[in-house]
Structure 1
């Protein structure tokens, strides 16, 4: 029995369609499937909004603050958000991919 799908549409995968490993269902998929799409979208939205809020709130980091290895707080706070933003975007991607 073959399933036909319209051109340009993506197949919908379910946990039962994934291959089994050593006779046991894929446990990771079962653990991740309990997140609803609305919850995932809300978490992903928070992950994407956090860098904007943190970096656009300039009075927080414009004043004098602790220096790190001689680098003023103003600079290392912004540079800290570069890898942190990448991590948050990756988390949002994982939550929203289908």
Structure 2
């Protein structure tokens, strides 16, 4: 009765670290108020304080989309490994 032990992929992988960084970066940028609590430089007449935050709306969207795509690819790879190992 020799049973083959189930080989599980590691929980923390480089891809998952990148996903976490993509999701954490906007929080860090917005919580670090000292980095953007000023009026200059202005962009088309809008003080830095406001356009910096609006820029992070777009950046956060792009980072979230990237994290989602990486997560989907990671899940497909794990499912393929699991299906390949069970055959």
Q: TM-score range by the shorter chain?
A: 0.5 to 0.7
In structure 2, how many angstroms separate the alpha carbons of the residues matched to 1:80 and 1:53?
14
Q: Give 3-state SS (helix, strand or coil) of 2:19's partner.
A: helix
Q: 2-side partners of 1:65 and 1:92: how far apart? A: 32
- How far apart in 1 are the matches of 2:35 and 2:61? 22
Could you list the per-position Cα deviations for residues 55-91 of structure 1 after superposition, in whole angstroms to 9, with x for gaps in the alignment? 1100110023200000000000000001110100011
1:24-70 CA-partner distances (Å, limit 9, x unpaired): xxxxxxxxxxxxx6111000000001100001100110023200000
Establish whether residue 55 from structure 1 lines up as the match of residue 54 from structure 2. Answer: no
Secondary structure at 1:85 match in 2: helix
SS in 2 for 1:66: coil
User: Which residue, 44, 65, 79 being the options, matches 2:40?
Assistant: 65
- Among 50, 53, 56, the residue aligned to 1:75: 50
Partner of 1:93: 68
Question: Structure 1, unaligned stretches of length 5 or more?
Answer: 1-36
| Runs of at least 4 residues off by over 4 Å | none
How many residue pairs get aligned? The number is: 62
RMSD: 1.1
Q: Work out the CA distance in 2 between the residues paired with 1:71 and 1:64.
A: 9
TM-score normalised per structure 2:
0.67
Structure number having the greater helix percentage: 2
